[in-house]
């Protein structure tokens, strides 16, 4: 049948099983929105307050479900407003398809009104991007985009469509998407056999888990593998929940704000098995000293990540789910009682602690954990609150922690929490934010209010840019340049003005009552928690130092 380009966009989305889109309309994409209106019973559109909020919502939707998130924007500033969201998804390998429309083909290259080369702008931060100037190619491009976003190492794909294409007709035929399965053919069996030998000879194996395990839906395979080799497990920020954070084998997060047990334990291992992690600088500290007493085995679906930041002893390129299955099948049951006892002693000797005499970030997170029984989707912005959420909430399953890791995008969490709640309406979704981040994105409270999306926003209000201030205190001789948030703003009243319930709390008792009310509310709630401006995230590794040099406040006092 003959359809316009705009109709083809909608039909192709339906082919892919898309029932939710986040976006903001404009002139160039108007034909698509007009067609979307006619299919509003099949595809629900959420109008965000800003295109960046739409991109983060699509990202949060994807992280919460494993499905492709979709968002729309118009040409020019509409498209450029999504660039931060595209880069956020790219750095964390999140499958998102972002559809923009550009000016008509006859106006391209003429500095026309709201014309922008969005392909040129996004090329460094997309897995792939397209511009469609011929309507006969549109359907195939959309199908390719969804497949590219999901195969191998996932990532964002941008499709830019000229406006004339959305109005032009061509023949369209429905095409059922082919199932996307991990590619077993790329896994080298000789590499697997060598890895099995390395693991079998190891006396002190240590497993480090990244976000690739979640992306590969390999958590169950990881659990069986860890049980088989009897090893401790640490995770990265993106790896939260990929391995059960309540397990006795779990030692905490690794890296700059990781636990001492994780950082010290890795330093004493003889084999570090890295699954689905790219060795971020915030994880490894000084690359010259990272794991220098051990052999390193890296498992990653993206061969370009192997030997990029850390030169490893051996590697297996392939999907984590398939590789872990193969390894487990070829390994005998192992026991490392002495090694595991040593790790448990580290955990006992170096627990995460915080002051109990006042309301603090860790206390807020632990209270949220207690009141949600560990069964919530926790989104975060970026900063101290993000680290506390990673340290003090126990994530027992994947897709329960949603945060910007690679790009570190302040303003990410609120949009992401909206996307996560839309994707998982049956789950409690809480966004943990700093007051600096809240200032960047509270306009999206209008989105939550408009659609009555019952998210809970918990603000850690210390009247400063907390993480930057922490660095200024420790490394810049307390020169607090532009990190104090002047002004007596009542964020609870701002929330009320946006149509949400707003509450201020100053102690644990007030927090408990506020959370109790928020958890039973049928609309969005903002809880503004006042904490001290000089509370810090501990432990910490100084920039460029070895992770074995992690220090706490007590260590500084002793010096």
Catalytic residue annotation: 51, 113-114, 163, 467
Round to whole Å and give the CA distance between 85 and 461.
25
CB 253 within 8 A of CB 512: no
State the Cα–Cα distance between residues 82 and 117, nearest whole angstrom. 13
For the chain, how are helix, strand and coil distributed in percent, rounded to 5?
45, 20, 40
- 147-158 CB burial, b ≥16 within 10 A, e <16: bbbbbbbbbbbb
DSSP 3-state assignment of 483?
coil
Joined tokens for residue 25: 């309309």
Give just the sign of the alpha carbon dihedral 479, 483, 486, 491.
negative
Which DSSP symbol is given to 463? S
| Nearest by Cα to 69 from 85, 80, 50 | 85
Tokens of 552: 């706490």
Handedness of CA 325, 329, 333, 336 (dihedral sign): negative
Q: Could you tell me the end-to-end alpha-carbon distance of the chain, in angstroms, rounded to an integer?
A: 77
CB 61, CB 35: distance < 8 Å: no
Comparing CA positions, the residue from 532, 459, 455 lying closest to residue 489 is: 459
Sign of torsion over alpha carbons 448, 452, 458, 461: positive
Q: Give the C-alpha separation, 313 to 323, whole Å.
A: 17
Strand partners, 128: 157
Instruction: Report whether the peptide linkage leading into residue 539 is cis, meaning its omega lies within 30 degrees of zero.
Output: yes
């Amino acid at each position: 049948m003959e359809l316009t380009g705009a109709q083809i966009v909608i039909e192709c989305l339906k082919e892919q099983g898309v029932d939710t889109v986040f976006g903001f309309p404009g002139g160039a994409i108007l034909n698509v929105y007009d067609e979307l209106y006619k299919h509003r019973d099949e595809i629900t559109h959420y109008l965000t307050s800003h295109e960046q909020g739409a991109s983060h919502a699509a990202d949060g939707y994807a992280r919460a479900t494993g499905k492709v998130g979709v968002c729309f924007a118009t040409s020019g500033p509409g498209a450029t407003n999504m660039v931060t969201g595209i880069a956020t998804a790219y750095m964390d390998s999140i499958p998102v398809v972002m559809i923009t429309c550009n000016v008509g083909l006859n106006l391209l290259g003429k500095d026309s009104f709201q014309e922008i080369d969005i392909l040129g702008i996004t090329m460094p931060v997309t897995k792939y991007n397209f511009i469609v100037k011929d309507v006969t190619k549109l359907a195939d491009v959309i199908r390719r985009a969804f497949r590219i976003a999901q195969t191998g190492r996932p990532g964002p794909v941008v499709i830019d469509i000229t406006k004339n294409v959305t109005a032009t007709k061509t023949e369209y035929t429905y095409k059922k998407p082919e199932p996307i399965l991990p590619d077993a053919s790329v896994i080298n069996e000789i590499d697997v056999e060598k890895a099995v030998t390395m693991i079998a000879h190891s006396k002190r194996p240590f497993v480090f888990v990244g976000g690739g395990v979640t992306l590969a839906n390999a958590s169950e395979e990881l659990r069986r593998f860890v049980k088989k080799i009897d090893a401790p497990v640490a995770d990265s920020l993106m790896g939260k929940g990929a391995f059960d954070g309540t397990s006795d084998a779990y030692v905490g997060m690794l890296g700059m704000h990781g636990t001492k047990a994780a950082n010290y334990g890795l330093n004493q291992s003889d084999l570090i098995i890295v699954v689905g992690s790219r060795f971020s600088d915030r994880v490894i500290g000084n690359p010259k000293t990272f794991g220098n007493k051990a052999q390193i085995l890296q498992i990653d679906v993206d061969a370009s990540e192997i030997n990029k930041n850390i030169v490893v002893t051996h590697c297996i390129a392939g999907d984590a789910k398939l590789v872990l299955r193969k390894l487990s099948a070829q390994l005998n049951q192992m026991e490392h009682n002495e090694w595991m006892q040593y790790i448990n002693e580290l955990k006992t000797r170096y627990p995460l602690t915080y002051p109990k005499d006042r309301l603090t970030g860790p206390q807020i997170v632990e209270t949220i954990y207690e009141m949600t029984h560990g069964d919530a989707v926790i989104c975060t912005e970026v900063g101290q609150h993000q680290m506390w959420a990673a340290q003090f909430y126990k994530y027992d399953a994947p897709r329960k922690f949603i945060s910007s890791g690679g790009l570190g995008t302040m303003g990410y969490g609120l949009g992401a929490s909206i996307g996560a709640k839309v994707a998982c309406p049956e789950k409690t979704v809480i966004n943990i934010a700093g007051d600096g981040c809240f200032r960047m994105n509270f306009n999206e409270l209008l989105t939550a209010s408009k659609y009555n999306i019952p998210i809970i926003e918990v603000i850690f209000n210390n009247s400063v840019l907390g993480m930057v201030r922490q660095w200024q205190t420790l490394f810049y001789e307390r020169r607090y340049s532009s990190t104090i948030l002047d002004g007596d703003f009542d964020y609870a009243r701002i929330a009320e003005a946006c149509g949400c319930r707003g509450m201020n709390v100053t102690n644990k008792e007030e927090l408990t009552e506020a959370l109790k009310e928020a958890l039973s509310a049928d609309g969005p709630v903002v809880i503004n928690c006042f904490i001290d401006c000089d509370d810090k995230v501990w432990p910490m590794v100084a920039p460029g130092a070895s992770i074995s040099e992690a220090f706490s406040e007590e260590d500084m006092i002793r010096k």
